[in-house]
Structures are given as C-alpha cells and as structure tokens.
Amino acid sequence: MANNLKGTVWKAEGYVFAYDIIKQEFWTSALDKEENSKWVMGGVHPDFDQENGFKSNGYSFIVAGHNFAGGGKSIEHVITGLMGAGIKAVIAESFSRLQFRNAINYGLPFITCKGIEAIASTGDELEVDPISGQIKNLSTGKEIQAAPVAPFVAEVAEAGGLISYIQNIIKEGKVDELR
C-alpha cells in the first residue's frame, strides 16, 4: 500500500447505501473489478447511472458521512466496483461494518475520519497516508488526522487480499505472529 496516495476527491452529498453503489440488478454478476466498475455508484447520482458514469471522472477518493455503504448488504461487488473504478481510499465519518470488513479483506483502505466532510469538496486534490492517518487537502491547505490503519491492512493490500495474505502466512508458518 502506497503511503502517500494522491488524487481528486468525490464527496457524497448525503447517505450512500450499498444498494446504490451497486444496484440490485448487478448483485449476481461475477466479482470482476473491471465489470463491476462500469456500473459502480449508478444509484447514487443520475450522472453516474450509465456505463462508466462514475469511473470516467477519474476520482481517486470518496469522502462520505456516516455508515458509508450501509443497509445490511454484505455483497463484495461494492468493493470490487470501487477498486475497478480507480478508487484508492474511501474516507468517511463511519462505515457499515460488513463493507468495512470486505474493503480490508480486498485491500481497499476505508479510513475513518471525524470531520472529513468539513474539509473536502468534490474536485479537491488530496494527499492521504492511510498508515499514519494524515490527510492533506492540497487544494485548500487544510489538514486532518484520521484513525491510522493497522499495518496489517497495508500488508493485506500488498498481498492482494486476505485470502492470499493468509495463504502466505500459513505457508511461512507465521500464524502465531498474527496480532
């Protein structure tokens, strides 16, 4: 996981449901990053409700309020779709716990940050270090401290997800070292 992610932000204007990130018609599709990315965020805004509607904007970050991707759905398409669309991290006041787990298991940083909504707007350039939790808004100069992600989140991302990460741990006989 790169420690200084840079790029532009899309900021949610209201509550973002998992159901709107990937609309129900795509729930049964394969867990393909490329495929899911074409339709991701289709239910969030009419502009995004077309092929590559969200992806074509080239955003790197999503900033959102409480319970990002909530609604009690555990579908992993939410995460693969966002990753396929080029999202490097989602920074929110809080996350739905099912999607928070999925994000980490897939290696997409979901960064919890109180007050992030107040310091970022759509189109701003951000610099984000998930490991330290430092977030800089390069467009406005404002800075904010988020909860740092545990080093293992970075390791999981590097390994390409939890399954391959654990496969490696088991192969190396390092299960006891997991903490």
Partner 1 sequence: MSGLTLTEKIMAKQSGRDSVRPGELVWADVNSIMTMDYLGKSTFNIFDSLGAKELFDRDKVICVSDHLVPPPTEAFANLLNEWRAIVKAHNITYFYDFGKQGIAHQIMVEDGHVLPGTVSIGTDSHANSYGAVGAVGNAVSVTDAAVAMATGKCWFRVPETVKFHVTGKWQPWVMGKDLSLHIMNMMHWNGDLIYKALEYDGPAMTDLSMGGRISLCNMTVDLGAKNGIVAPDEKTQAYLNGVAKGEWEMVFSDSNAEYEAEYEIDITNVGPVVAKPDNLDDVVNVEKVVGTKLNQIFIGTCTNGRVEDFGIAAAILEGKQVHPDINMLMVPASQTQYLEAMEKGYVSTLVKAGVAIGTSGCAPCFGTHRGVAGDGDVVLSAGNRNMKGRMGSKSAEIYLTSPAVCAASALTGTIADPRDLPMPKNFGVTYGE
DSSP character string of 32-62? -HHHHHHHTTTTT-GGGSSTTTTGGG---EE
Q: Which is nearer to partner 1, 25 or 179 (CB)?
A: 179
Q: Which of 16, 104, 120, 128 binds partner 1 (CB under 8 A)?
A: 104
Q: Which helix (H) or strand (E) holds 77?
A: helix 77-84
- Binding flag, residue 44, partner 1 (CB under 8 A): no
Other residues' Cβ atoms within 10 Å of the Cβ of residue 125: 16
Q: Which of 105, 122, 134, 139 binds partner 1 (CB under 8 A)?
A: 105
Cβ atoms of 111 and 133 within 8 Å: the answer is yes
Amino acid at 127: E
Cβ atoms of 67 and 97 within 8 Å: the answer is no
Q: Which of 24, 31, 32, 72 binds partner 1 (CB under 8 A)?
A: 72
Q: Which of 2, 144, 159, 162 binds partner 1 (CB under 8 A)?
A: 162
Where does this chain touch partner 1 (CB under 8 A) — which range of 54-62, 80-88, 134-142, 171-179? 171-179
- Binding flag, residue 166, partner 1 (CB under 8 A): yes
How remote is the C-alpha of 166 from its chain's centroid?
Answer: 21
Footprint (CB under 8 A) of partner 1, residues 116-145: none
How far is it between the farthest Cα atoms of the chain? Answer: 50
Q: Which of 96, 107, 108, 130 binds partner 1 (CB under 8 A)?
A: 96
Please report where in the chains the tokens 């006041």 appear, as a residue: 93
Residues binding partner 1 (CB under 8 A): 15, 66-67, 70, 72, 74, 76, 94-98, 100-102, 104-105, 112, 147, 149-150, 152-153, 162-163, 166-167, 169-171, 175, 178-179
